Amino acid sequence: MTIAIRRDRWGISHVEALDRLDAFEAQGWVAADDRFWQMDADRIKAQGRWAEIVGSKGAKEDAFFRRMRLTNKCKNDWSLLAPETKEMTEAYAKGVNRWLKEQADQLPEEYQYHGLPPESWEPWHCLAVYKIRHVFMGTLHRKLWRGHLLATCGPEVVEAMQGNINDDSVIASFDNPTLDLLSGLPEVLKANSELLEALVDIDGGSNSWAIHGSRTSSGMPLLAGDPHRGIEFPNVYHQFHMKCPEFNAIGLAFPGVPGFPHFGHNDDVAWCITHGMADDTDVFVESTDLDQVEWETELLTVRGEGDYEVYCGSTERGPVVIGDPAENMALSLAWTGLAGTDTTFDALIPMLKASSCKKLEDAVACWVIPVNNVLSADTQGHISFKIRGRVIERPEANRWIPVAGESASSWTDLEPVAFDQLPGVTDPPEGYLVTANNRPSNSGPYISLDFAGSARFDRISQLLETLPAASLSDMERIHGDVVSLRAPDIVDSLLTHASKFTHPWAEWLLNSLANWNNEMSKSSIEAAMYAVIRRRWCESVGERLGVSAPSFGAPGWPSAEAASRMLADAALVLLSDHKHALIPGLETEDDLDHALSACIDETLTELQLRLGDDRETWTWGRLHRMFSPHFMASLIQEAHHLHPPVDTCPGDSDTVRCGSVIPERGERASAASVARYAFDLDDWDKSGWVVPHGVSGVRGSGHDLDQRQAWLECALLPMVFSDKGVREAEVSYFEL
């Protein structure tokens, strides 16, 4: 049976098959052709075997996944999938293995730097790849962080750092037994600091928006957005198009996973997501039950060092993942991806076949991980928003910090919130929908404490309000917007409270910020000064609270990098909400004046040292550089040349065009848009997309970096879809 594959000038494959199983086989073959080493690396990580490639640097991470029993969980979940879902993964695996057999002597360059040969792809590996890409997008780090804050700084600071969360005060629930419970955490976390550093996931958030035809130039909806993650090479998403009698769909897939879980469209409906920021993880401090755990050992192989035993066991709450049971204290974990059966993959085929927004939402009723904000638009003219995923409501204290390992804390008897109770809306009167990791509703079931601030949501809404007849070019302009709506509050605090500075250029700095347009553009001098002042303020807050350097990554912290991100968010909330009096040494307005003035003086001195005395050259582009590390090359020196080049990146975490930083790394851009897309329901061929590098993960292939310039310019490349469009764009043709 012939499967036709046409590649366009960007190397993107457009498949035409006689049935759906052939289409999924082709998707597996093409994904392997473009990204096999990436797929292989993800499944190896999920199995807790990364140290076999990178040595001791991967051992702690491997031990964590072994303790989670992630492999067993994926196999069990696969066995319980619907028959047609299993067939889909089997067809996908068939395509991967077909490629692997054909290319056995021409494997990607990465295999030259380690001795682990690729194994055959098994259907359950698809679930493993998907889980490994989402396991740390939850609240593990934030709960460890707040537990340390509570023990160190007290409940008032912890609560204030969350800003306005529309919940009743929880201070009363943080009683002495809770503080006693947390007193033992520092030593547990200190002993596992390398592990916690390895488990950092750089998730910068996402944007998406849907515009009703009443507000577009064509009279039909537009759907657009961009996911934000750590910028890595190869890129997390893979562009692909497949057609068969049952469906015709195009989108951004995960290499190793069939279908289009997050972004795509078929003949009738388009869909996209942003991270729902759900509280999907509980952390339990285990002590009394540890002696009842039935411990088993697994052998962990570390390249160049041999085999080591890993003790694995679970309490009724979940697997013990952090700590040493011999010390009579450890941490166990409950995660929605482990609790109950994960039926996420059962949604993938129904999504491809959905004929309307309503049918699309029906298709994802079985979704489990992660919780997403789904936007959709259909050719009938509707736009819709719906939260999908497993939401489990727990006691209020569990939302904030690690809690006692008691039977009452177990999820065993808890039922997920029913799908029809999760927030949703169709065809709103405003004529548009926006999601940007913000709180979706002030009512309904509890989702999380940890939503993003409103800056990106407000800015996109602001821009859409000005568009009575939106077009695709407007979508590109919104993608590239770098106005920060958070900056005015912070600048206002400086202008209002800072007067005791000593640096001779301080007045110039304040005058510059007073007249700034709040754009985080590459050429902006004000953006550079604003960014460094922000970091300096956050560092000073951490020092005053006793939770900052030099103890980053030491007792009580998740890791230096994760802690610095959370501290930065919290410190800015304290400043914007006028809660500085909770910070030791900043009880009065005079104290605040001295602190902010010191940040100004330090910023000017730092910029002189870093960029020189010519203030005209102090641009954001010189500070804000985007690294796109190849995640194996970062650990194996011989493969260092696989890293892509470094480029200037505008924006920051509060702008639509994301360029998030990890304060511990300075102003280096660590997360940004890992794809941009705009679906035009008037004419699918007018739709566009772009990724940071290219469709291929093979360095030097010609399609590994060929989209980079368009991505840097915030331009969209053609997303051809119709038979005519595909044939006109065809550069190469072959058959499987």
Tokens of 340: 């109950």
How many CA atoms are closer than 13 Å to the CA of 241, on its beta-carbon side? 28
Order of all β-strands in the sheet with 320-324: 320-324, 329-335, 281-286, 403-404
Tokens of 24: 């999924």
Residue type, 458: D
Asked whether the beta carbons of 315 and 332 are under 8 A apart, the reply is yes
Asked whether the beta carbons of 419 and 170 are under 8 A apart, the reply is no
Cβ atoms within 10 A of the Cβ of 246, count?
A: 15
Q: Report CA torsion sign: 718, 96, 671, 69.
A: positive
- Interhelix angle 525-545/560-576, rounded to 10 degrees, is 100
Strand partners, 298: 310
Q: Which residues of 175-187 are buried (b: 16+ CB within 10 A; e: fewer)?
A: eeebeebbebbbe
Question: What SS3 class is residue 611?
Answer: helix
Please classify residue 685 by burial: count the beta carbons closer than 10 Å to its beta carbon, then call 0-12 exposed, 13-18 middle and 19+ buried.
Answer: middle
Place of tokens 């006689």: 18
Tokens of 349: 């085929």
Asked whether the beta carbons of 553 and 565 are under 8 A apart, the reply is no
Alpha-carbon gap, residue 253 to 246, rounded angstroms: 19
DSSP label at 564? H
Peptide bond before residue 370 is cis, with ω within 30 degrees of 0: yes
Query: Does residue 206 have an active-site annotation?
Result: yes
Q: Report CA torsion sign: 94, 98, 101, 105.
A: negative
Residue from 120, 169, 183, 206 carrying the catalytic annotation: 206
| Residues labelled as active-site residues | 206
